[in-house]
Homo-oligomer: A and B are copies of this chain.
Amino acid sequence: MSAVSAVPVATIKFYLRENLLAAGERSAPNQADYGPDHLSRLRLIRSLIDVGGLAVADARRVLEAIDSDLPLQQTFDIAQRAVSEQIQPTDVSTVALDRIDAELSGWLVSAGNPGRLAAARVMDSCTAVGQRDARGWLNRYAQAALLVAEADLDEIEALSDRAAQAQTVVVGTVLGDALFSGLRRAAQEHVSALRFSPTATAHHQNPHDTCP
Give me the interface of A with B, judged by CB distance under 8 Å.
40, 43-44, 46-47, 50-52, 71-73, 76-77, 80, 83-84, 98, 100-102, 104-111, 113-123, 125-126, 128-132, 134-138, 140-155, 157-159, 167-168, 171-173, 175-197, 200, 202-211
Contacts A134-B155, A151-B141 hold; do A185 and B114 have CB atoms under 8 A apart? yes
Q: Are B118 and A181 in contact (CB under 8 A)?
A: yes
Residue of B with least CB distance to A146: B187
Complex formed: what's the CA distance from A143 to B187 in Å?
Answer: 9
Q: Are B113 and A189 in contact (CB under 8 A)?
A: yes
CB distance from A146 to the nearest CB of B (A): 5
A159: chain B residues at CB < 8 Å are 134
A137: chain B residues at CB < 8 Å are 151-152, 154-155
A138: chain B residues at CB < 8 Å are 179
Complex formed: what's the CA distance from A158 to B197 in Å?
Answer: 18
A116: chain B residues at CB < 8 Å are 182, 185-186
Complex formed: what's the CA distance from A47 to B122 in Å?
Answer: 8
Q: Are A183 and B150 in contact (CB under 8 A)?
A: no
Residue of B with least CB distance to A81: B185
Q: Are B73 and A105 in contact (CB under 8 A)?
A: no
Contacts A108-B203, A115-B181, A180-B144 hold; do A126 and B76 have CB atoms under 8 A apart? no
